[in-house]
Amino acid sequence: MLVVLVILAAVGLIAALAFAAVRIGHRAKELERVRRLSANARLETLLEFDRARGQLQASVAQTQERRGALEVRVAELGRARASLGLLFEAAGEAIRTVRMPR
């Protein structure tokens, strides 16, 4: 009788261990799936960050080009202003010369 109880206890222990092993296997698969999804999410985030960085670099390059063009335009306007100043000065001299009594 004692042998039967020991055998039943051993069978019960083996069944419990098998059930626990199956549960651990399911948990391990779930953990692997979550790890894989997490890795994919990180990769997607890195790719999105890389795209955003590329767009930002393109925007910076375009802004620098525009700034260069504006600087050229400001220099041209400065030269035009200086030329106009000389023209107005010459016109003033011409008007004074014409108004001088003879």
Alpha-carbon span 65 to 58, nearest angstrom: 11
Structure tokens at 38: 């997490």
Alpha-carbon span 72 to 79, nearest angstrom: 11
Which pLDDT band, with edges at 50, 70 and 90, does 86 fall under? Answer: very high
Of 100 and 19, the one with more pLDDT: 19
Phi/psi for 101 (5° steps) reads: -70, 145
Which pLDDT band, with edges at 50, 70 and 90, does 52 fall under? Answer: very high
Could you tell me how many helices (H) and strands (E) the chain has, helices first? 1, 0
Mean pLDDT over each residue of the chain, to the nearest integer: 92
